[in-house]
Amino acid sequence: MTHAPQSSPQVVAHRGASEDAPEHTLAAYRKAIEDGADALECDVRLTADGHLVCVHDRRVNRTSNGRGAVSALELADLAALDFGSWKNRDAWRGRDEEPDWEHRPEDREGTSVLTLERLLELVSDAGRRVELAIETKHPTRWAGQVEERLLTLLKRFGLDAPATAAESPVRIMSFSARSLHRVRAAAPTLPTVYLVQWLSPRLRDGRLPAGVGIAGPSVRIVRSHPGYVERLKRAGHQVHVWTVNEPEDVDLCVRLGVDAIITNRPRAVLDQLGRRPSR
């Protein structure tokens, strides 16, 4: 089913165009921008020497050829690892085409660890408005240092104090209400998203932590409890749903009037929404 553009929610590339390229690599985010994604989603963790890097898991074992916790490794340690070859082998086996980054080994866009600073540079050079949804990962050994470093970096790019939340190209997401409270206290106009993995009794009526204006329920919640979206909307909140990859789930989100679809497949979702010519 194809939807008219006016019914389209924002399309957010989950860890970049992570179906097509290794997640959280520069190649994945370049692909998402080229595909027309409205926004990019990333997870951030703090290295042992104080750098914010885009890595989802607490440990690097799944997405690299190394081992260990991100928080115990320095940026130089992470830079020596390969964060992409596993995806190249699995995703491109048997295809006629090859990924672009195999033709550019000098910049290792598909295999190098990505810092948040480099991702912010990419977004600022995109040539159009591309928003960024940054998730702080918790629990963490660094407590409030993640948020402190994040806001310091956003300030360097002039992104820490938008006039209003609606004008901000950046939003901060977390499953941790405490993390969002820290962000709100230091940067009250930055929009925040409370991620929801399951519905507790205190959340069912559509309430969110104080000062948070956006709910981020999983697509499983939306499938099982579609009325939850209506309750959130009635409470005045936006709804950003993750991770929406199947066409029937895209249709469901559109019918329910969600504000953003977070997906590994931004190009396919944009096609379905009628915002790109069909391939």
Strand partners, 194: 174, 215
- Residue 23 identity (one-letter amino acid): E
Closest by Cα among 104, 86, 22 to 55:
22
Local confidence band at 88 (pLDDT 50, 70, 90 cut-offs): low
Q: Would 245 be classed as within a structural domain?
A: yes
User: What's the rounded mean pLDDT across residues 104-120?
Assistant: 83
Which of 36 and 277 is assigned the larger pLDDT? 36
Whole-number percent of the chain with pLDDT over 70: 89
Buried-state track 76-114, b at ≥16 Cβ within 10 A, e below 16: ebbeebbbbeebbeeeeeeeeeebebeeeeeebbbbbbb
Question: Is the pLDDT higher at 129 or at 88?
Answer: 129
Query: pLDDT confidence of 109, banded at 50, 70, 90?
Result: confident
14 as an active site residue: the answer is: yes
* Residue at 86 is within a domain: yes
The region of weakest confidence among 65-79, 85-99, 121-135, 147-161 is 85-99
- Catalytic position from the list 24, 51, 56, 237: 56
Angle 162-39-139 from CA coordinates, rounded to 5°: 80
Check pLDDT > 80 for residue 94: no
Give catalytic status of residue 56 as yes or no. yes
- Is pLDDT above 60 for 185? yes
Q: Is residue 278 part of a domain?
A: no
Q: Which residue has the higher pLDDT, 100 or 230?
A: 230
Q: Say yes or no to pLDDT of 4 above 70.
A: no
Structure token pair of residue 40: 């990019």
Provide the residue type at 225 as one letter: H
- What's the pLDDT tens digit per position in 125-173? 999 999 999 999 977 777 799 999 999 999 999 999 999 999 999 999 9
Residues sharing a CB contact under 8 Å with residue 96, sequence separation 6 or more, in sequence order:
none
Q: Please indicate, yes or no, if residue 248 is contained in any of the structural domains.
A: yes
Is 53 contained in some domain? yes
3: which 2 tokens? Answer: 């939807």
Grade residue 106 by pLDDT with cuts at 50, 70 and 90: very low
- Mean pLDDT over 38-44 rounds to 98
Residues pairing with 60 in the sheet: none
Residue 279 counted as domain residue = no
Residue range 201-255, pLDDT digits in tens: 889 999 999 999 999 999 999 999 999 999 999 999 999 999 999 999 999 999 9
Residue 264's pLDDT is 98
Structural domain tally of the chain? Answer: 1
Nearest-angstrom CA–CA distance, 251 and 102: 35
> What CATH number corresponds to the domain at position 77?
3.20.20.190
Per the structure, the complete domain to which residue 242 belongs is given by 5-272
Q: Is residue 264 a contact partner of residue 18, using CB atoms and an 8 Å limit?
A: yes
In a domain, 108, yes or no: yes
Q: Is 221 a domain residue?
A: yes
Residue 279 scores a pLDDT above 70: no
Average pLDDT over residues 120-129: 97
